[in-house]
């Protein structure tokens, strides 16, 4: 019992730390009036987005809560209290809350980072990183608190699984809706602003510019946060569920394997908090020193988490403790390897991205072919890492080992997410410095911070994909225990691929990520058109807008594109929830297992391909813009821009959404398991 209170305690500690950090960020100087003006417009836009998004989500969440309450809690399990429905609702609210807090700070940290960069590089880094750390510690804090408290109250992990489902639902909307929004605003503002009206990029006269800025926060901060919040919650839930199922007798509440994931998460949180203090650099730091500043924080946290996990395992006296420790190490190593591989394939410091830039010399066609081939090749290391992690973790501790490897991978999430969420803040600070015509020296500093942000964002994306794959597999394992009540030995669980229904499930599962990606890519086009029309209308109807005397209606532009993107994501979103339920009802629980495996395999591969080819195209363009191969404005650059345009929905809409698709399908299966058997 104490273990759960320890978990709750660390959760509270994380939130207190986040509050303190947020306070420090918010009391920073906001800079010049021009900067405040721009910052205000972004905040207005972000509020408009969140208001609209949460209104749409509320309907969806209420509907699903009722469905769960009626069909699972009341009809199927004959409960007096709709426990799973309550867990679902709380999970959804928590996920929305983390998104709100993360974005709230990020959009306020943009201007403050730019202002701090006026003083020096280190102050700029500290503000941007601290705002990312607010997000990171909030996610882990709310995650562990939600699960621990619900578990303490309901004493049934299958009920707590509803929390994961709630988190997934919001995550899906945040990632898909946000992903469509950000790219639609980007493309739409370019088409009307740059092409039709002939005004430069990021020009404040363009009503969609703010939507574009908002989009970066919506997609990269809130989207990434809710994505990893879900991975974090689901990996804990899956591990506890497997530990529960694998206990021959009804487990004690203090059964070591049951509380271990919560304690690993707890020491992970504390380690991450300590790690954040090591992220600092000198005033004249080089690029590699900046990168090292962030990496030092992560490495110190990782070392701490390993040492303290080992201690926890020994203190708890877990059976086969060394083997379980090995599984945790495996997960942590796999996550880092995937992160580095992502960086290798998408940073222009390395040959794959440079080869894409060289291919741009022979035109847009060869740029696309080379970039797409690079994305496909880049699946090798992530798959090898996950496969190695599965083999080692399973050898070490069966399915429990696979699940706790996911927990290990995510244990340092507090700080890894901080380095990810740092990226878009630094990016926007750079944009603000440019729009507010700050001193060239300041822009050099924000450029350095931004460039660093691209690297950490790449690593973060790889991490998100890797953890999604491992978490989904852990959920799948928990699901197979759930559909085989009474089985305690993982080796007795069977899903036979040669059963034609399972085979059919697998094929349909493998199909879904393709359809999902196609729908989300098409949605970007549809939503972009809605923005184009709105910008044209404002240019026509608001007097003095082109002369700079009339103020564009930024919020309306944001609201329209929000509505457009949220409407466009209904079909893919509904598919993700309905497909596993339909499969479970029509072909049965084993074919649903086949469907999950098919979706995880093909979704993982597609997600890596799309995210990495998109990232590599982006950076190939940046490499050329840095003055290589002809530089900005050359034909080579134009070809690279085509690659970047294709890469935008790949890396920011479809690719990352696939992470959620596979986790959401898996947790839907777990939550609805009682209905299928």
Output 553 or 590, the one with its CB closest to a copy of itself.
590
- Answer yes or no: are the C-beta atoms of 272 and 144 closer than 8 Å: no
Who's near 427: CB < 8 A, 6+ residues apart?
A: 216, 450, 453, 454
- Provide the minimum distance between the beta carbon of 213 and a copy of itself in the complex, in angstroms, as a whole number: 21
- Answer yes or no: are the C-beta atoms of 181 and 218 closer than 8 Å: yes
Output 8 or 587, the one with its CB closest to a copy of itself.
587
Output 30 or 645, the one with its CB closest to a copy of itself.
645
- Provide the minimum distance between the beta carbon of 318 and a copy of itself in the complex, in angstroms, as a whole number: 21
Who's near 445: CB < 8 A, 6+ residues apart?
A: 117, 120, 121, 124
Output 301 or 517, the one with its CB closest to a copy of itself.
517
3-state secondary structure of 31: coil
Output 554 or 604, the one with its CB closest to a copy of itself.
604
Output 368 or 436, the one with its CB closest to a copy of itself.
368
Mapping DSSP onto H, E and C, the string for 409-434 reads HHCCHHHHHHHHHHHHHHHHHHHHHH
- Provide the minimum distance between the beta carbon of 391 and a copy of itself in the complex, in angstroms, as a whole number: 6
- Answer yes or no: are the C-beta atoms of 42 and 213 closer than 8 Å: yes
How does 35-49 read in b/e, with b if 16+ C-beta sit within 10 Å? beebbebbbbbbbbb
- Answer yes or no: are the C-beta atoms of 180 and 524 closer than 8 Å: yes
Handedness of CA 254, 335, 101, 448 (dihedral sign): positive
The encoded tokens of residue 101 equal: 């807090």
The encoded tokens of residue 434 equal: 């440019």
- Give Cα 662 distance to the centre of its chain: 13
What is the per-residue DSSP string for 154-183?
Answer: H--HHHHHHHHHHHHHHHHIIIIIHHHHHH
Nearest to 280, CA basis, from 294, 263, 269, 267: 294
- Provide the minimum distance between the beta carbon of 259 and a copy of itself in the complex, in angstroms, as a whole number: 25
- Answer yes or no: are the C-beta atoms of 563 and 216 closer than 8 Å: no
- Provide the minimum distance between the beta carbon of 186 and a copy of itself in the complex, in angstroms, as a whole number: 11
State the Cα–Cα distance between residues 52 and 46, nearest whole angstrom: 10
Give CA angle at 157 (156, 163), nearest 5°: 115
- Provide the minimum distance between the beta carbon of 399 and a copy of itself in the complex, in angstroms, as a whole number: 8
Nearest to 419, CA basis, from 365, 470, 456: 456
Output 51 or 380, the one with its CB closest to a copy of itself.
380
- Provide the minimum distance between the beta carbon of 522 and a copy of itself in the complex, in angstroms, as a whole number: 5
- Provide the minimum distance between the beta carbon of 148 and a copy of itself in the complex, in angstroms, as a whole number: 29
- Provide the minimum distance between the beta carbon of 241 and a copy of itself in the complex, in angstroms, as a whole number: 15
- Provide the minimum distance between the beta carbon of 481 and a copy of itself in the complex, in angstroms, as a whole number: 10
Output 97 or 525, the one with its CB closest to a copy of itself.
525
- Provide the minimum distance between the beta carbon of 406 and a copy of itself in the complex, in angstroms, as a whole number: 14
Output 500 or 631, the one with its CB closest to a copy of itself.
500
The encoded tokens of residue 531 equal: 């923005």
Output 328 or 641, the one with its CB closest to a copy of itself.
641
Q: How far lies 193's CA from each of 154, 383, 429, 632, in Å?
A: 55, 42, 21, 19
- Provide the minimum distance between the beta carbon of 512 and a copy of itself in the complex, in angstroms, as a whole number: 10
Give CA angle at 492 (489, 497), nearest 5°: 140
Output 152 or 493, the one with its CB closest to a copy of itself.
493
Q: What is the DSSP letter of 75?
A: I
3-state secondary structure of 278: coil
The encoded tokens of residue 500 equal: 């034609």
Q: How far lies 636's CA from each of 28, 104, 633, 645, 647, in Å?
A: 42, 39, 8, 15, 17
- Provide the minimum distance between the beta carbon of 673 and a copy of itself in the complex, in angstroms, as a whole number: 15
Output 132 or 219, the one with its CB closest to a copy of itself.
219
Output 328 or 470, the one with its CB closest to a copy of itself.
470
Nearest to 354, CA basis, from 364, 343, 362, 346: 346
């Amino acid at each position: 019992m104490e273990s759960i209170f320890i978990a709750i305690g660390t959760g509270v500690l994380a939130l207190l730390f986040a509050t303190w950090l947020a306070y420090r960020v918010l009391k920073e100087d906001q800079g010049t009036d021009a900067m405040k003006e721009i910052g205000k417009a972004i905040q207005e836009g972000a509020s408009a987005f969140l208001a609209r998004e949460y209104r749409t989500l509320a309907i969806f969440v209420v509907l699903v809560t009722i469905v769960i309450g009626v069909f699972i809690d009341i009809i199927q399990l004959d409960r007096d209290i709709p426990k799973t429905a309550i867990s679902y609702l709380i999970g959804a609210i928590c996920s929305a809350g983390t998104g709100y807090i993360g974005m709230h700070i990020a959009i306020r940290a943009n201007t403050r980072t730019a202002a701090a960069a006026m003083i020096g590089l280190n102050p700029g880094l500290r503000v941007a990183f601290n705002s990312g750390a607010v997000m990171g510690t909030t996610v882990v804090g709310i995650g562990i608190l939600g699960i621990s408290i619900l578990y303490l109250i309901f004493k049934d992990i299958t009920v707590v699984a509803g929390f994961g489902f709630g988190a997934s639902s919001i995550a899906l909307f945040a990632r898909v809706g946000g992903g469509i929004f950000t790219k639609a605003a980007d493309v739409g503002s370019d088409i009307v602003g740059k092409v039709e009206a002939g005004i430069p990029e990021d020009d404040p006269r363009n009503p969609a510019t703010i939507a574009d800025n908002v989009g970066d926060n919506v997609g990269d901060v809130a989207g990434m946060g809710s994505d990893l919040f879900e991975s974090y919650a689901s990996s804990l839930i899956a591990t506890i569920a497997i530990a529960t199922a694998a206990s021959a007798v009804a487990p004690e509440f203090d059964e070591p394997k049951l509380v271990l994931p919560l304690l690993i998460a707890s020491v992970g949180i504390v380690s991450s908090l300590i790690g954040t203090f090591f992220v600092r650099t000198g005033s004249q730091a080089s690029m590699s020193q900046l990168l090292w500043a962030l990496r030092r924080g992560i490495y110190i946290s990782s070392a701490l988490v390993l040492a303290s996990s080992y201690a926890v395992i020994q203190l708890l006296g877990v059976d086969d403790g060394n083997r379980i420790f090995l599984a945790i190490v495996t997960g942590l190593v796999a996550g880092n390897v995937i992160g580095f591989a992502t960086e290798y394939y998408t940073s222009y410091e390395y040959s794959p991205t440079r080869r894409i830039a060289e291919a741009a010399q022979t035109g847009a066609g060869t740029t696309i072919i080379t970039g797409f081939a690079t994305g496909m090749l880049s699946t090798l290391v992530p798959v090898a890492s996950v496969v190695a992690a599965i083999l080692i973790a399973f050898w070490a501790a069966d399915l429990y080992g696979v699940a706790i490897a996911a927990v290990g991978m995510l244990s340092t999430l507090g700080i890894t997410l901080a380095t990810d969420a740092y990226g878009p803040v630094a990016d926007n600070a750079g944009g603000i410095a440019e729009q507010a015509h700050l001193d060239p020296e300041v822009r050099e500093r924000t450029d350095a911070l931004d460039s660093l942000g691209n690297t950490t964002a790449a690593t973060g994306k790889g991490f998100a994909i890797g953890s999604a794959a491992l978490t989904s597999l852990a959920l799948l394992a928990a699901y197979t225990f759930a559909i085989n009540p009474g089985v305690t030995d993982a080796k007795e669980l069977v899903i036979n691929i040669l059963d034609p229904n399972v085979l059919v499930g697998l094929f349909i599962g493998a199909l879904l990520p393709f359809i999902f990606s196609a729908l989300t890519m098409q949605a970007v086009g549809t939503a972009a058109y809605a923005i184009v029309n709105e910008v044209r209308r404002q240019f026509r109807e608001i007097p003095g807008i082109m002369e700079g005397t009339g103020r564009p209606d930024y919020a309306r532009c944001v609201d329209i594109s929000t509505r457009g993107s949220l409407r466009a994501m209904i079909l893919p979103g509904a598919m993700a929830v309905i497909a596993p339920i339909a499969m479970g009802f029509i072909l049965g629980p084993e074919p649903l297992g086949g469907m999950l495996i098919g979706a995880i395999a093909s979704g993982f591969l597609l997600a890596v391909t799309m995210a990495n080819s998109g990232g590599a195209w982006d950076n190939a363009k940046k490499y050329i813009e840095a003055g290589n191969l002809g530089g900005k404005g050359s034909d080579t650059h134009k070809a690279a821009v085509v690659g970047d345009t294709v890469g935008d929905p790949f890396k920011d809409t479809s690719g990352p959404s696939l992470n959620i698709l596979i986790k959401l399908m898996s947790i839907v299966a777990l939550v609805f398991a009682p209905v299928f058997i």
